[in-house]
Amino acid sequence: MTARTESKKESEEMVTNENGNVNRCEEVQVENPRKSLKLKKMSNGQLEKRVYKIVLTGGPCGGKTTGQSRLCTFFENLGWKVFRVPETATVLLSGGVKFSDLTEKEAYKFQENLIRTMIQIENTYFELGKSSMRNCLIICDRGVMDASAYISKDKWEKMMSSNNWNAIEMRDNRYNQILHLVSAANGAEEFYTTEEHACRSEGVDLARELDYKSAAAWVGHPYFDVIDNSTNFETKMNRLIESVCQKVGIDIGDRLLATSRKLKFLVANLPPDSEFPPFQDFDVEHQYLQSSGPKVQARLRKRGQNNHWSYIHTIRRPNVHGQSRIEVKTQLTQRDYINLLAQRDDAHFTIYKKRRCFLVNNQYFQLDIYKEPSHPRCKGLVLLETYSSLSGEALLNCLPKFLNIVKEVTGDPDYSMFNLSLKEDWSITKKFCHSLHDDCSGYKLKQSNGVTNKQLVLNGHAKG
């Protein structure tokens, strides 16, 4: 890719190169003939490339083939190298394997070998991505966790244990983002078809079941996006591309008519675990780092289960090139995480949470339950987060009915994690972030004669 330096930022930050080493770098703006991109300039003068690994999953007839093609075209036009990892199950099944002909023992071994084969095929493309001289997008047609949708929980746990596999490595650390394309059998039944697909024979009911199981297999991944059928197919594909661009940190402007946004809600009176659909719980720690400017936030996240951890470095820059916020996330090794902890900002407490991930009506939710030790302002705090393009009554209907949602707090600085972690009093500190979003509207508590009613209001619609 040919590029010329358009402008240089004065700020510097720590990044991890492909060999796992942390280097000092500065951000530069580079321009390719089709699109302006952000790359990192290393201390040796070279531009650091990105390798971003995604999984496209979902039930039959969800648009994975088309979505893969659209993503490939879009990112190649940006100057990226794109690799497409074929679906391992389709490769093996096209060789004459029929599950109906296999014994229970044979089916178990087939699934085990399928995963081993998938890992090796993916690793081949991952290595190619590392050696590429350009930014690289690697699109996996399904991932290793999809196999759990076709095997009982007991057998899956036995398989994981006997191969020394764990969910944090197989699900969270292996891929940067999971995108679940909901089957047309769920919400767009008139478009569901099994024609022109040699390995597809599922009816509508079975397709819905497989769609749910494939989504449930990925619950818990930190960047799991569900692309449903609430819009027409063309818009669905644009939402897919938009979701990847948001996570990578690419400014797409209004070219895709971006509509999805991050929403945050305050929750009271947490119900018992039995009220929840199947969920995954994680221990999470957030550390804020010293940043290069007043409008830049840098933080580390440690997230894990059963003493297996993933590590993420996040840089947030509000109001960059007309966008309300840009976030760039980099996956770290444990060594890099420990090195970056030396830059911890002493003005902030460490944030400790229990994060609960679950699906409701094809909507992916994360429930953050703040834990001690923390600032007294965080005691008992529970926040629900999701990404959605819905609004009004449609948004109300998708929210979990078993949760006591007090109000929407999207963009409310009182519920910003940055502000919640501050050691100083909000009224006197200069570090308090007063405005995170241009639009802080949403749910509000109705008040009458100074008394707050337990009623949610959104665009004129009330919910008792």
Residue 350 lies in a domain: yes
Residue 379 lies in a domain: yes
Q: What does the alpha-carbon distance between residue 408 and residue 151 come to, in Å, rounded to a whole number?
A: 39
Q: What does the alpha-carbon distance between residue 312 and residue 242 come to, in Å, rounded to a whole number?
A: 21
Residue 440 lies in a domain: no
Assess whether 96 and 191 both reside in one domain: yes
Assess whether 277 and 168 both reside in one domain: no
pLDDT of residue 204: 81
Rounded (5°) CA angle 344-281-152: 140
pLDDT of residue 462: 34
- Tens-digit pLDDT profile for residues 142-185: 999 999 888 889 999 999 999 999 999 999 999 999 999 998 88
Per-residue confidence of the chain (464 residues) as pLDDT tens digits?
A: 333 333 333 333 343 333 333 443 433 333 333 333 444 554 444 456 889 999 999 988 888 888 998 898 889 978 899 999 999 988 888 888 887 788 989 989 999 999 999 999 999 999 999 999 889 999 999 999 999 888 889 999 999 999 999 999 999 999 999 999 998 887 777 777 655 454 555 678 888 888 898 999 999 999 999 998 888 888 899 899 988 988 888 776 555 655 667 899 999 989 999 999 989 999 999 999 998 766 788 999 999 998 999 999 988 876 544 444 567 788 888 999 999 999 999 999 999 999 999 988 878 899 999 999 888 899 999 999 998 877 788 888 889 999 999 999 998 989 999 999 999 887 777 777 765 443 322 333 333 333 333 334 333 333 33
Residues 6+ apart with CB under 8 A from 374: 349, 351, 352
Assess whether 210 and 74 both reside in one domain: yes
Residue 364 lies in a domain: yes
CATH code of the domain in which 182 resides: 3.40.50.300
In Å, the largest CA–CA distance within the chain is 73
Residue 39 lies in a domain: no
Grouping H, G, I as helix, E, B as strand and the rest as coil, residue 118 is: helix
Q: What Å distances lie between residue 33 and 2, 71, 87, CA to CA? A: 8, 18, 33
Of 406, 421, 436, which residue constitutes the final position of a domain?
Answer: 421
Assess whether 92 and 208 both reside in one domain: yes
Residue 13 lies in a domain: no
Which residue is it, tokens 């719980």?
Answer: 281
Assess whether 203 and 125 both reside in one domain: yes
pLDDT of residue 31: 34
Answer yes or no: are the C-beta atoms of 134 and 79 closer than 8 Å.
yes
Assess whether 205 and 285 both reside in one domain: no
Assess whether 237 and 271 both reside in one domain: no
Specify the number of domains making up the chain: 2
pLDDT of residue 326: 67
Assess whether 82 and 204 both reside in one domain: yes
pLDDT of residue 15: 37
Q: What Å distances lie between residue 159 and 114, 153, 164, 242, 254, CA to CA? A: 12, 10, 8, 36, 46
Assess whether 224 and 359 both reside in one domain: no
Identify the domain containing residue 357 by its residue range.
261-293+346-421
Q: Indicate the DSSP class of residue 188.
A: -
Answer yes or no: are the C-beta atoms of 144 and 170 closer than 8 Å.
yes
Q: What does the alpha-carbon distance between residue 56 and residue 422 come to, in Å, rounded to a whole number?
A: 38
Assess whether 133 and 223 both reside in one domain: yes
Q: What does the alpha-carbon distance between residue 15 and residue 3 come to, in Å, rounded to a whole number?
A: 21
Q: Indicate the DSSP class of residue 348.
A: B
Four-CA torsion 77, 83, 88, 89, nearest 10 degrees: -10
CATH code of the domain in which 369 resides: 2.40.320.10
DSSP H or E segment with residue 451 = strand 451-458
Assess whether 244 and 265 both reside in one domain: no
Residue 94 lies in a domain: yes
Residue 122 lies in a domain: yes
What are the phi and psi torsion angles at 298 (to 5°)? Answer: -125, 135
DSSP symbols for 391-418: -HHHHHHHS-TTSEEEEE-TT-GGG-HH
pLDDT of residue 52: 95
Tokens of 41: 């300039």
Q: What does the alpha-carbon distance between residue 324 and residue 101 come to, in Å, rounded to a whole number?
A: 56
Q: What does the alpha-carbon distance between residue 133 and residue 108 come to, in Å, rounded to a whole number?
A: 40
Say if residue 373 is preceded by a cis peptide, omega within 30 of 0: yes
Tokens of 207: 């397709």
Assess whether 124 and 60 both reside in one domain: yes
pLDDT of residue 143: 95
Residue spans of beta strands (DSSP E) within 155-296: 177-181, 224-227, 261-268, 279-289
Q: Specify burial of residue 209 (Cβ count, 10 A radius: 0-12, 13-18, 19+).
A: middle
Of 421, 436, 451, which residue constitutes the final position of a domain?
Answer: 421
